[in-house]
Amino acid sequence: WAPADEVTLTVIAYRESVEVYADGRLMLHQVRHREIAGRLGVFVERAEARFDRLRVMRFTER
């Protein structure tokens, strides 16, 4: 990506599993057995970013 590009990030966190997609491509998948509850936040390491139109949706089990 170029520095001025816009990227659509999708983060799916369900129980122990966290997946991060950039423009529909899987970039990160982690299983975290310690953090199954808590808060949500975004951060950038060694870069600059602006986050617009953040949306949070809750999974409901049937």
Tens digit of pLDDT for each residue in 22-55? 999 999 999 988 766 677 888 889 988 888 888 8
Average pLDDT over every residue of 11-22: 89
Strands (E), 17-60: 17-22, 25-31
19, 25 in Cβ contact below 8 A? no
Three-state secondary structure call for residue 45: coil
Q: How many domains does the chain have?
A: 1
Residue with tokens 């949070």: 56
CB 40 within 8 A of CB 56: yes
Return the pLDDT at 42. 86
Structure token pair of residue 19? 């997946």
Residue 6: give the domain boundaries.
1-62
Higher pLDDT, 1 or 55: 55
pLDDT value of residue 35: 66
